Amino acid sequence: MSASTPRLSVIVEWANARLKGESRAVLLLDALARQWRQIVRGEVPAALPAAARRFLVGLEPRSELVLVSGDTAGIALDAEFEKRLSQSFDLTLRVADGLEYYPLKNFGAGLATGDLLLFVDSDVLPDEGWLAHLLGTLADPGVDVACGQTYVTPSDLVARAFALSWIFSLRDDSEALVQPSKIFTNNLLFRTGVFRLTEFPSIGHRSRGAGSLLRENLERLGITIWENQQACVGHSAPSSVRNMIVRALAHGRDHYMKHSEERTLQSLGYSLSVAARRLQRGFVRTFHDRRRVALRRREVPAALAIILAYYAFFAIGGVLTYIHPRAMARRFRI
């Protein structure tokens, strides 16, 4: 890292934008630019510790934004919007035909020139102050990797059902710095030299799941990932019935293939057991925590039906993978 003015590079994959619509990705980019301008102007959250404030003041004011797509259609941004982004970042748009989610992140990191690498998914929306809190975590020289807290934004009935039952925890307002039980790669910050030691590892034919392998690789190097719970991003629920079904089938396949890409009863049993446990957890949370996401009593039956449908297709994904693992490896690349 540069001794005096470390530079930030932000890498945004465009795979999720293709799946869920580019309008949300544009909102993300707008929020990124706005929050970075606030940091440059010294307009940071009042709760930010003094050491974090000093760290942010010492950053290079001109940061870098790298947008990477695996689709030959590329990244189409409105010319005026691209001009506004260029006022805040040195902007790079690249296409690597055929690359999926994690390989795109590695590709983007290879293009980046900064001392700090921030990976952000194109389908999350940050809360106010997210960027300052997340970057400020690295004010501690003992912290090399940090992530923010991810929660499903409970914007409607479907989103409230997923907030209670999906892979993300409910939002925690404790404002603590913790070692999370599970990490997500949708807002993940590295000192560049540390990222180069491992990058995002290969996960075979799965679509998702590199986070746990990444953490294992870092732990072997004696490096801890910290979660700053003051740095929050909202994640969307599946955007349609089709998207929900495809995501659930891929979810079941990925858990099956976590143990084997061949036909094994052990992998099938594992995938089905995960589906059953998460269904049970979703039901329990719905009754216990519904008020935390403003789920009304009359909405509970519909929420339970949504949760049941998702994990039923999750289980089907595991069964289909057992029947034909190679076909499932090619399908549902989400």
**pLDDT (tens digit per residue) in 270-321:** 999 999 999 999 999 999 999 999 999 999 999 999 999 999 999 999 999 9
Query: What percent of the chain has a predicted confidence (pLDDT) above 90?
Result: 90
- The pLDDT tens digits for 78-89 are 899 999 999 999
Which is more confident, 76 or 85? 85
Burial class (CB in 10 A: 0-12, 13-18, 19+), 42: exposed
- Judged by DSSP in three states, 50 sits in helix
Burial 278-291 (b: 16+ CB within 10 A, else e): bbeebbebbeeebe
Burial class (CB in 10 A: 0-12, 13-18, 19+), 100: middle
H/E stretch holding 253 reads helix 241-257
Position 199 scores a pLDDT of: 96
**pLDDT beyond 90 at 176:** no
Residues 6+ apart with CB under 8 A from 330: none
Position 316 scores a pLDDT of: 98
CATH topology of domain 8-235: Spore Coat Polysaccharide Biosynthesis Protein SpsA; Chain A (3.90.550)
Amino acid identity at 18: R
pTM of the full structure:
0.95
Residue 76: pLDDT band by 50, 70, 90 thresholds? confident
- For residues 143-155, give the mean pLDDT: 97
Burial 202-234 (b: 16+ CB within 10 A, else e): ebeebbbbbbebbbebbeeeebebbbbbbbbbb
How far apart, in whole angstroms, are the C-alpha atoms of residue 169 and residue 159?
13
Position 177 scores a pLDDT of: 94
Taken in order 315, 297, 242, 148, the sign of the CA dihedral is negative
**pLDDT beyond 60 at 3:** no
Q: Which of 329, 105, 334, 332 is nearest to 205 (CA)?
A: 329
Which is more confident, 76 or 296? 296
- The pLDDT tens digits for 226-257 are 999 999 999 999 989 999 999 999 999 999 99
**pLDDT beyond 60 at 260:** yes
